[in-house]
Amino acid sequence: MNDDSKQHEHDRDDPARDWALATQSIRAGHARTHEQEHGEPIFPTSSFVYGSAAEAARKFSGEEPGNIYSRFTNPTVRNFEKRLAVMEGGERCVATSSGMAAILSTALALLAAGDEIVASRSLFGSTVSLFDKYLGKFGITTRYVELSNLEAWEAAITPRTRLLFAETPSNPLSEVVDIAALAEIAHRHGAWLAIDNCFLTPALQRPLDLGADLVIHSATKYLDGQGRAVGGAVVGPDKELEELFGVVRTCGPCMSPFNAWIFLKGLETLNLRMRAHCANAMAMAEWLEAHPAVTRVHYSGLKSHPQHDLASRQQQAYGAVLGFEVEGGREVAWSVIDATRIMSITGNLGDVKTTITHPGTTTHGRLTEEQKVSAGIAEGLVRVAVGLEDLDDLKGDLARGLDALR
């Protein structure tokens, strides 16, 4: 057992696991140094020094816990990992350099040539490219199904299926899958279920409590909350995470200490931010649904959403990302986007600043036309990740373009 594994054996008894999430997000994971600092320190060092050759040997062999090299043992990164693991209710967390690195590391840890993935067809475009173009090179096949259709998931599974992978709610249509039911299907077939939880975070949804095996995060999004840094994380049981830790240790898709510190600061306000995001997003979705220039709004908080009841059962709220459609296709959608003066035109989300984008030519732009149609990415679709600005200002910003369509 290596030094990192020994440390995680003790984490299961962490008293922070009994605290409320608001307390965990501020207090969990910080072991004060001899300096007795109040705020979490940053350890921007590549390596660590030992008192003797014998001590170095013990730590490198795993006989004695301790830091070795910041690619895989860094105190600031470990602080972030401990805090997020507690918040998600998982035994362990492994941090990575990005959300995509988290997904890649999961695949490298759990899958081999000949294995199969079943995934929702509404995945983020880069995840589809990773599965099809890169994992496909090494003999790993992915089948895509409608996210909410449990019968389709079941039918797509074969004896070679090792992983079920889903984003719920989806980007940008806010589709939802019954996590508990999907977990039951996965486990009955001897497969793992991984849920990308970056849209809701543990403040609004805890997939492990519902039966999922792994939770994937792009920490770049709401865990940071202010668009400052790129990072990712995987939370789950020790056994699977030990192999994933080995991928990060050997292959090197690691999180930097500075970024880990930024994410720690983001976690401190996560609970408050997510509630405020959701309140703004709900009001915005209701306003858009009533606007005559909008043909459809995709937001699971609306009673008109086909999976509103399911979302209400397994989520504490509905998140901040919504999509809406206008008639006239890409040209009209672009005109609405270009008329904004407050919202940031960018493909990123999870920021206190509201962002707006055209999914068909940005986040999902690398999908084929057939894949876009299958995933419901229409040319007239606009995605808004609602931030924390004044709601009337945001409505006025969208109204500038929408009102011109009437």
User: Helix, strand or coil for residue 373?
Assistant: helix
Mean pLDDT of 222-243: 96
> In this model, does residue 10 exceed pLDDT 80?
no
Q: Does residue 11 surpass a pLDDT of 90? A: no
314 pLDDT band (50/70/90 cuts)?
Answer: very high
Nearest to 27 by CA among 45, 44, 14: 14
Average pLDDT score over residue span 18-26 = 92
Residue 7 banded pLDDT, cuts 50, 70, 90: low
Residue 341 has pLDDT above 90, yes or no: yes
Instruction: Give the model's pLDDT for residue 4.
Output: 56
Average pLDDT of span 49-53? 96
Lowest mean pLDDT among 174-183, 239-248, 357-366, 376-385: 357-366
User: Does the pLDDT of residue 405 top 70, yes or no?
Assistant: yes
Which of 4-13, 99-108, 109-118, 325-334 has the weakest average pLDDT?
4-13
Strands 92-96 and 141-145 turn out to be unpaired
* pLDDT at residue 367 in the model: 77
pLDDT digits (tens, 9 = 90+) for 281-291: 999 999 999 99
Helices 75-88/257-268 angle, 10° precision: 40
Q: Locate all alpha helices (DSSP H) within 205-325, ordered by sequence.
A: 238-251, 257-268, 270-290, 308-314
Identify the band that residue 224 occupies on the pLDDT scale cut at 50, 70 and 90.
Answer: very high
Note the pLDDT of residue 374: 78
Rounded to an integer, what distance in angstroms lies between the CA atom of residue 239 and that of residue 92? 9
Tell me the mean pLDDT in the region 188-207: 98
Please report the pLDDT score of residue 12 as a whole number. Answer: 63
Flag whether pLDDT at 5 surpasses 70: no
- pLDDT score recorded for residue 6: 53
Give the span between the Cα atoms of 25 and 254, in whole angstroms.
22
Q: Residue 336 CA to chain centroid, in angstroms?
A: 28
Identity of the residue numbered 322: L
pLDDT surpasses 90 at 88 = yes
The tokens for 265 are 């600061």
Among 58-62, 180-184, 384-388, which is the least confidently predicted range? 58-62
User: Chain-wide mean pLDDT for the chain?
Assistant: 94
Q: Is the pTM of this model over 0.85?
A: yes
- End-to-end Cα distance, the chain: 66
Q: Is the pLDDT of residue 366 over 90?
A: no
Residue 1: per-residue pLDDT: 46
Q: Rounded to whole angstroms, how far apart are CA atoms 77 and 182?
A: 32
Higher pLDDT, 372 or 150: 150
Using the predicted structure, report yes or no on whether residue 234 has a pLDDT greater than 60.
yes
How crowded is residue 61: how many other Cβ atoms within 10 Å of its Cβ? Answer: 10
Pick from 4-18, 60-74, 256-270: least confident: 4-18
Residue 69 DSSP symbol: B
**pLDDT mean over 228-253:** 96
Task: Give the model's confidence band at 272: pLDDT under 50 very low, under 70 low, under 90 confident, else very high.
Answer: very high
